[in-house]
Amino acid sequence: MPLTLTLRQPPPGRISLAGILPQRLAGLSLAEIERLPLRWGGQTPALGEFFRVSGAPGSRLAFEGMDARFADVARGMAAGECDIEGDAGDFVAAELSGGRVTVRGSVGRLAASGMRGGLLHVRGDAGERLGAALPWLAAGMQGGRVVVEGRAGARCGERLRRGEILVGGDAGDFCGALLVAGTLAVGGRLGAHAGYAMRRGSLLLFGAEPAPAPGFVETACAAESFLALLRASWRKETLPAALAARLDAATAWRGRRWLGDLASDGRGEIIRLL
């Protein structure tokens, strides 16, 4: 049985779970894990006040009955697996460099911010700035893969530099804004100003017709070879159910393509698959 943290009682406010990682807990006893301090304002309550600890420490960590007021879950994880049953707060899997994080619920803002490797799979929705940069940083997500079965909030993939973000549902305003490189796929509708100030990278749309930022121009879509390779790769990996269904139904990939954002001398592309 993996190391399991089962919620005893809801937290009184936003509490950080930074540092509660498989690699850190692997060498500790259950009693030592229960005594680990958490951060809540100026206080440091023990982990055991909120969670019952069971199982065997190792490469797998599971949270049961989670609450969205817990932030920083799996932040900085480098290896192993983290399973979250329920909702989680802000910064889930931020700065992830390896391993797999699965959330059977929704996540808050800035999930996967600064991510460099590994996989984050969210069964529910994601809040604002999924995979985006913190305001004082030049780049957001820099590698790995994020899969969201539901919706994503505003500024999804802002300043994305490398990696993939795959959203099964809708995405909010400024999706792919300031995109530097990488791939962002959306199965549903987009909000306003998609691809604003985009420099490179690809925004792939499976749903409604986009309304790109004014600096985009429609061009010929000659990306069949690229899309065929991408499709072959995606079939081997985890996908949102909505995108997987579209792949299974498609016999050939065709699309419309917009180039931009020319207002920022961008060479990115928005492709709507038909």
Q: Is residue 100 part of a domain?
A: no
- The strand pairing partners of 104, in sequence order, are 85
Whether 244 shows a pLDDT value over 90: the answer reads no
Q: Is residue 215 part of a domain?
A: yes
Q: Is residue 37 part of a domain?
A: no
Q: How many domains does the chain have?
A: 1
Q: Is residue 108 part of a domain?
A: no
**Which tens digit of pLDDT belongs to each residue from 144-180?**
999 999 999 999 999 999 999 999 999 999 999 999 9
Model confidence, pTM:
0.93
**Which tens digit of pLDDT belongs to each residue from 68-85?**
999 999 999 999 999 999
Q: Is residue 32 part of a domain?
A: no
Q: Is residue 68 part of a domain?
A: no
Work out the average pLDDT over 170-198.
Answer: 93
Q: Which of 114-118, 228-232, 265-269 has the lowest mean pLDDT?
A: 228-232
- Runs of H (alpha helix) within the chain: 22-25, 30-34, 224-234, 241-249
Whether 231 shows a pLDDT value over 80: the answer reads no
Rg (CA), the chain: 19
Q: Is residue 187 part of a domain?
A: yes
Q: Is residue 192 part of a domain?
A: yes
**Could you tell me the residue range of the domain that residue 219 belongs to?**
138-143+156-164+171-239+252-274
Q: Whole-angstrom Cα distance, residue 133 to residue 142?
A: 10
Q: Whole-angstrom Cα distance, residue 102 to residue 104?
A: 7
| pLDDT above 90: percentage of residues in the chain | 69
Pairing label, strands 119-122, 142-148: parallel
Q: Is the link from the previous residue into 265 a cis peptide, with omega within 30 of 0?
A: no
